[in-house]
Each structure stands twice: as C-alpha cells, then as structure tokens.
Amino acid sequence: MKTEHAKPMMTPSPKSPPPEDQYVAVSPWKEAFRQLKKNKLAIVGLFIIISFILIAIFAPLLTSSTYSETNPTNRLQSPSMEHWFGTDDFGRDIFTRIVYGARLSLQVGFFAVTGALIFGTTLGLIAGYYGRWIDMLISRIFDIMLAFPSILLAIAIVAILGPSLQNALIAIAIVNIPIFGRLVRSKVISLREEEFIMAAKAQGMKNGRIILHHILPNSIAPIIVQATLGFGTAILEAAALGFLGLGAQAPMPEWGKMLSDSRQFIQSAPWTVLFPGFSIMLVVLGFNMIGDGLRDALDPKMKS
C-alpha cells in the first residue's frame, strides 16, 4: 500500500520593494495644487474671480454705451431687455457701470495688496531676522497702526491726502502693511534658528543672501494666503471709502460710490443698490473662498 507523502508547504515569498527609479518625488507646490483642486469651494471662488477678470478685460465688448453716458428720459428705469440692471437717477445704464466698476475694484485690490505686501514683507524680514532694537522699533510701529481700526486709519489718511481713488489706494495699502509685516516676522523668527540657516551662516553666506535665498522662499506660503484674503479686504475697504465720499469721485463707476449715490432710492428703485452691493459681495466672497482653499492646501497642519 502506497503512502502519500505530504507536500511541503510553500510559503509565499515577501514582495520585493519597487526599484528606486519608480519613486517619483512630488514638489510641495504640485501637491498643494492637487489639494486645491479637490476643494470645491476654492474652485467656485476661482471661477467667480476669473469671471470678473474677464468682464473687466472685455468691458467695451459687453456694452455699447459708456459708464458716464447720461439720458434723463431713462431715469430710474427698472431692469429690462434694453437695460439689464436698470438705470440710475441720471439715466446711466447700471450694467455698464458695474462692468467698468469691476476694473476699478480689481485694480484697487491688486495695487493696494501689492504695495502692502512689498513694504510689509520687507519690514517683517528685517525685524524678524535682525531682532534686537530694529525688531522692537518696527514691532512698536506695527502695534500703533494696529491699535486703530483699519477703516478709521484709512479715513484719516485720505482726509490728510484728499479724497480720490489714488489716495484711497495709498491709504488701503498703508493700513495693511502691519498685517503682512507681523505675519512675515513671526515666520522668520521660527526659521532663523533652523539648522540650514545656521549652516549657511557657518559657510560665510551674507545676511542679505540668506534672507533672499533661504528665509523668503520658506515664508512664501503664508504670504500667498494672506495676499489672496487681502484682495477681498482691500476691495471692501475701497467700497467703504467710496461710500463715504473719500474714494473714487463722480462719474467714476466705483461700486461703493454707486451705493452711496443710490441709497436715497433704496425703496423706490432698489435695483440701483442691489446690483452694486451684490457685485461687492460676490467678489469678496470669491477671494475669501480661494484664500481658505490655499490655506488648507499650503498649511501642513491642515492636511490629513
């Protein structure tokens, strides 16, 4: 009688790791962009802002009239096929003024944030890196500026310089300098004691080169987030100054000025207030959505 021999158990061999050339390094910026694309609210905000940018660029193609063209016979007409957003008390087409007003609002946001970013980042880098009395002096200036409500400080600056859109832009840039400055300063203080900064100093690298090639690139993420959020804040502050008569002057189609000129018709002709107010809300909301999405994508603490 034949006896069957038990077959030896075959143990599965462990899977060998993939070769090193199969690992693809993903840069932090590509990873941040990938995370941003997953954020639906950020994509909606980006769509809103791109839409307003395109409207501002192609404004002459979207309307056949100019923003200052008056027609007393069409005074305070409700929205219709001829005037999509109605007309104001001078018979001017509100849709045309909204379209051209997008140019002003986006320009104010861009130049005000750019000015605040340049000066605030420069002061923050100097204060955070060098420390001592330089840090104390710059920080105390920031504290004094932040002790005032931003809109009141902007009103005071415009009152000194005179009411105009250019002076309002300067005032908005000034009141936002300490926000960027303190943000960059805190980031630089946390970076200047890192090992790669110590190694750069040990190699004899000059302070200016260290700041530009090591400190600033590693501080750029929070700056981008704050700049994006600052766009919405700058547009809102410009609208507030225009509403108070300290920003853009007639007949410029600035949204805040349009609200101020139409507030007496809020009951009899509500469309004169509704569309400028809705435009301000929509643009600010778009920038806030993008800013929140960038914060989630660029901040490692927000990633799972």
Which residue segments constitute the domains of the chain, with CATH numbers given? 36-67+80-302 (1.10.3720.10)
| pLDDT of amino acid 304 | 47
pTM of the model: 0.80
Structure tokens of 104? Answer: 């002003």
- Average pLDDT (241-267) is 86
| pLDDT of amino acid 284 | 92
- Say yes or no to pLDDT of 186 above 80: yes
By the 8 A CB rule, do 78 and 109 touch? no
- Say yes or no to pLDDT of 219 above 70: yes
* Contact residues for 130 (Cβ-Cβ < 8 A; gap 6+): 207
Higher pLDDT, 244 or 303: 244
- Average pLDDT (189-201) is 80
| pLDDT of amino acid 285 | 92
Sorting pLDDT into bands at 50, 70 and 90, what band is 40?
confident
* Residue 22 to residue 181: CA distance in whole angstroms: 43
* Residue 77 to residue 65: CA distance in whole angstroms: 16
CA 33 remoteness from chain centre:
17
Of 142, 144, 145, 107, the C-alpha closest to 121 is: 142
Within 10 A of 161 (CB to CB), how many other CB atoms are there? 14
* Residue 177 to residue 124: CA distance in whole angstroms: 9
Of 9, 211, 40, 69, the C-alpha closest to 129 is: 211
CA distances from 217 to 44, 125, 190, 220, 291 (A): 28, 12, 14, 5, 19
Of the listed ranges 11-15, 165-169, 197-201, 255-259, the least confidently predicted one is: 11-15
Within 10 A of 136 (CB to CB), how many other CB atoms are there? 11
Of 293, 217, 243, 253, the C-alpha closest to 33 is: 293
- Say yes or no to pLDDT of 42 above 80: yes
Omega of the bond prior to 251 within 30 degrees of 0, cis?
yes
Average pLDDT, the chain: 83
Higher pLDDT, 212 or 1: 212
Sorting pLDDT into bands at 50, 70 and 90, what band is 264?
confident
Sorting pLDDT into bands at 50, 70 and 90, what band is 1?
very low
- Could you give the percent of the chain with pLDDT greater than 90? 27
- The pLDDT tens digits of the residues spanning 109-146 come to 899 999 999 999 999 999 988 878 998 999 999 999 99
